């Protein structure tokens, strides 16, 4: 099973590289496309076909179940704007990782929060924080993660995360 998933991810990367090249061409204005090639309409149609082919999401049952448990739905903007990335991300993060790590959901969520502080990725932290609270992680445990991160990422970064956490705690 793991070999098949690894092959699928490699194929995704190859396809993404091809798509990225074509998409970068599409970022030029219509004038630039027509100036470079008299068949600009055909090029635009090819780009649209490539984009249409990638608009499929094929989540594994476990990935879909876990994602919906955390976030209530798989109907999120990223699934529409970048479905192939979304599919690979969700299948990896919410099926492969939990299966291979054998961690409980709460442990996994707390590790994810700590990792997001270390990166730092405040926007994603806020999203995962809400899912963490929803799935029974105590606020005191979340604060402890932040306090323990201070010597590693610095007071300035941790203060941003503490402020965001306090706002979400008040909302919840």
pLDDT at residue 24, as a whole number:
36
Do 91 and 72 lie in one domain? The reply is: yes
Count structural domains, the chain: 3
Do 24 and 42 lie in one domain? The reply is: yes
pLDDT at residue 75, as a whole number:
86
DSSP codes joined into one string, 91-150 = HIIIIIHHHHH---HHHHHHHHHHHHHHTT-HHHHHHHHHHHHHTT--HHHHHHHHHHHH
Do 124 and 67 lie in one domain? The reply is: no
Do 44 and 65 lie in one domain? The reply is: no
Burial profile 64-79: b = 16 or more Cβ within 10 angstroms, e = fewer? bebbeebbeebeeeeb
Local confidence pLDDT in tens for the 172 residues of the chain: 556 765 665 566 555 554 443 333 333 333 333 334 444 445 445 444 444 444 456 899 999 999 999 999 888 898 999 999 999 999 999 999 998 988 999 999 999 999 999 999 999 999 999 999 999 999 999 999 999 999 999 999 999 999 999 999 999 8
11/113 Cα distance (integer angstroms): 30
Do 93 and 146 lie in one domain? The reply is: no
Do 113 and 160 lie in one domain? The reply is: yes
Do 109 and 96 lie in one domain? The reply is: no
Do 74 and 47 lie in one domain? The reply is: no
pLDDT at residue 73, as a whole number:
87
The domain that holds 154 is classified in CATH as 1.20.1290.10
Do 136 and 95 lie in one domain? The reply is: no
pLDDT at residue 11, as a whole number:
65
Do 97 and 129 lie in one domain? The reply is: no
Note down the domain range covering 21: 1-54
Q: Is the pTM of this model over 0.85?
A: no
Q: Which helix (H) or strand (E) holds 169?
A: helix 155-171
């Amino acid at each position: 099973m793991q070999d098949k998933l690894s092959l699928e991810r490699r194929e995704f990367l190859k396809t993404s590289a091809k798509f990225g090249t074509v998409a970068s061409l599409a970022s030029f204005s219509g004038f630039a496309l027509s100036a470079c090639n008299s068949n600009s309409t055909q090029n635009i149609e090819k780009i649209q076909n490539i984009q249409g082919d990638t608009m499929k999401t094929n989540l594994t049952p476990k990935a879909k179940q876990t994602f919906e448990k955390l976030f209530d739905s798989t109907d999120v903007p990223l699934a529409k704007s970048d479905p192939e990335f979304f599919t690979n991300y969700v299948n990896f993060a919410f099926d492969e990782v939990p299966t291979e790590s054998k961690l409980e959901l709460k442990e996994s969520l707390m590790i994810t929060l700590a990792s997001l502080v270390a990166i730092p990725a405040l926007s994603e932290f806020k999203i995962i924080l809400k899912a963490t609270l929803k799935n029974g992680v105590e606020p005191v445990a979340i604060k402890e993660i932040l306090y323990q991160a201070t010597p590693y990422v610095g007071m300035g970064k941790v203060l941003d995360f503490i402020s965001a956490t306090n706002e979400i705690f008040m909302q919840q």
